[in-house]
Amino acid sequence: MRFLTFNALILLATISLSQGRLMDRAGVASFFSTTPIEDIEAFNRQALGALNTADGSVAVSLLMKGFRFEKALMEEHFNENYIESDRYPKATFVGRIENYDKELFLQEGSKDYVVNGDMTIHGVTKPMTVGIQVSNDGSIINVETKFIVTVADFEIQIPRLMRDNIAKQVTVSSSFSFTLPK
Amino acid sequence: MRLTPIKIITVIVVLAGGFIAYRMYNKAHVSIQGLAPDYEIKSTELVSEFTASEEAANEKYLGKILQVDGEIEEILGTDPTPTILVSGNEMNHVQAVFAKNMTFQPEVGKSILLKGRCSGYLMDVILIDCVIVNEDR
């Protein structure tokens, strides 16, 4: 696991050092869980995103302790009991845009793409395919995504008492804006 | 139905329990404004500690309140509250995200003394819920 996290960092570093690298240090990631009992939503506004326009590789890294909840108690449970953020402080995604064509990608306008990669949450890595919406106005590339994460896939244990309060699948949304070099 | 003392006590205990549970559930986020920092450190030194050993620095600083002294290098955003980069090394900085009510206008080049909770290290050491202790001293 440590090896994979390390790999993700190396990839981030390589992306950031190579040509065509774009970076956003203040990306937004949020997740939403809904059950008949309650809705839970949390936002993280310090997600680090890297996009290499030369080969279409992407990397995202964020800190679990950076998620803010409406209620302090939810945040406490999330960090201490479910996600164990002292042991697993980060979540990462490392992947590549499918059928990447640099020239097409850098044209202005809006397009949808598919990204294949590996997602690591709670120390567990799973292959994952997510759809992204890319809009390019010539100076900024905005990337947005929304996908479903199954809590049990990442070995996140929810105590029986809370099982009706937390959805088995949560919706994750994320957005990054990358400023194109002039 | 007769009201025995046992019944009355049971009702009181249940009500009190419910009230406490409700209060806990709605417990507010604690502002760090009035809290004493666990560590006081220069932003450049904090960044060096994390670049030297992320693991050791995490052990020491994760979740702790840090009072950090540095220079504003870049403003990443001001919506809904300011997010700034404070001096570190060439590539890694301290990223400070300000708390809900902190809507000041940061200026690049000014020195700043701030207090925030350390959430870890990505490219920058990240402090959340930040409040200003002193601006441009």
Predicted pLDDT at A1: 45
A26 to B83: CB separation less than 8 angstroms, yes or no: yes
Beta bridge partners of A162: none
Average pLDDT over residues A60-69: 94
Of B26, B120, B123, the CB nearest to A25: B123
Q: Inform me whether the pLDDT recorded for B2 exceeds 80.
A: no
Average pLDDT over residues A141-149: 96
Of A46, A68, A72, the CB nearest to B126: A46
Would you call B13 helix, strand, or coil by DSSP?
helix
DSSP state of A159: -
Q: Which residues contact A23 (CB under 8 A, 6 or more apart)?
A: A15, A16, A48, A49, A50, A51, A178, B123
Helical (H) or strand (E) element with A32: strand A21-34
Least confident of A26-35, A42-51, B72-81: B72-81
Contact B37, B65 (CB under 8 A): yes
Q: Distance between CA atoms of A103 and A158, rounded to whole angstroms?
A: 46
Predicted pLDDT at B100: 85
Q: Is A163 exposed, middle or buried (0-12, 13-18, 19+ CB in 10 A)?
A: exposed
- In degrees, rounded to 5, the angle at the alpha carbon of residue A160 between the alpha carbons of residues A156 and A164 is 90
A151-175 pLDDT per residue, tens:
999 999 888 888 888 999 999 999 9
A113-138 pLDDT per residue, tens:
999 999 999 999 999 999 999 999 99
Closest Cα to residue B116, out of B81, B78, B90, B74? B81
Q: Inform me whether the pLDDT recorded for B12 exceeds 50.
A: yes
Prediction ipTM score: 0.81
Task: Give, in order, the Cα–Cα distances in Å from A89 to each of B54, B55, B83.
Answer: 11, 10, 21
- Residue A64 C-alpha, separation from nearest chain B C-alpha, in angstroms: 8
A155 Cα distance to chain centroid: 18
Of A61, A65, A72, the CB nearest to B28: A72
* List of chain A residues whose C-beta atoms are within 8 Å of the C-beta of residue B30: 72
